[in-house]
Structure 1
Amino acid sequence: MGKMSNHRLACVVFALIMGLFGIFHLFYADNMAKKVPDYVPGGVIWVYITGTGFILFALAILLNKYTKLACYSLAAMLLIFIFTIHVPMVVSGEDEFVKQEALLMMLKDIGLTIAALLVGYNSDRPDDAPNL
């Protein structure tokens, strides 16, 4: 077994984080369902779908199969969260605490979106390619 490249290590760490997000969504679904806006029908079912999605994205990256598709799909899902959940909460949250929390979650999802795009873009890059 050869040495793992920095690029592959970054992909594995990102995948593990996404997998943990998925596990947390499944284990704490009832608590997370409170964050689903009232204008989104379905409630807790979306938390389960999201958690399953995170786990599937993580598996695709870890197994290095359909990584580009998985990462671009993950980025699209996170962008949907940003524009349908976080932005409305930042603009019209109940109080300042809710607005600040929504802003922090939005910034987190922006960072994860960028990471997903970078991992997806570089997914077909050979591990021994130099870092630029």
Structure 2
Amino acid sequence: MKALIPTRIAVILYGIVIALFGLIHFVHADIMVAAVPIPGGKIWLYITGLALLLAGIAFIINRYVRLAGYLLAFYIFLVILLVHTPHAFEDLTSMTMLMKDVGLLAGAILAGNTGK
């Protein structure tokens, strides 16, 4: 089935946002390292930053979109489970971050479903 032009534009915009999140992992690793719940700290930020960057590129160039979308959804699910859920009900900011990531997870699945 042929994707509609607005759907393709939405996937490209989503890819740009995800790629920017990946770049943020590199630029602000020193700040973000405190939120990493597993040993290894910065190395995980660099690995996930690269993965986010590659997923964003896959969405933009329309290659490996299904794989990128589903792997991104799995990664975001882990972030929700390991990073946000333990602190979700402590304050409004934590709950907002959790809800944002649920939206990003849904977007990753939807974007992945547009791929071949």
Matched with 2:79 is 81
Percent identity (aligned)? 36
Shift of the alpha carbon at 1:123? 2.2
Matched with 1:64 is 62
Residues 47-94 of structure 1, C-alpha deviation per residue, up to 9 Å, x if partnerless? 111111110001111111110000000000000110111101225xxx
Superposed, 1:8-47 pairs within 5 Å as 8-37=8-37, 40-47=38-45
Q: Superposition RMSD on alpha carbons, in Å?
A: 1.4
Residues 24-63 of structure 1, C-alpha deviation per residue, up to 9 Å, x if partnerless? 11111111111113xx111111111111111000111111
Matched with 1:130 is none
Runs of 4+ in 1 over 3 A off after TM superposition: none
Matched with 1:122 is 114
Shift of the alpha carbon at 1:122? 2.1
Structure 2 portions without partners, runs of 5+: none
Query: TM-score, structure 1 length as denominator?
Result: 0.80
Is residue 58–residue 65 contact of structure 2 (8 Å, CA) maintained in 1?
Answer: yes
Higher helix share: 2
Aligned length, in residue pairs: 113
Structure 1 portions without partners, runs of 5+: 125-132
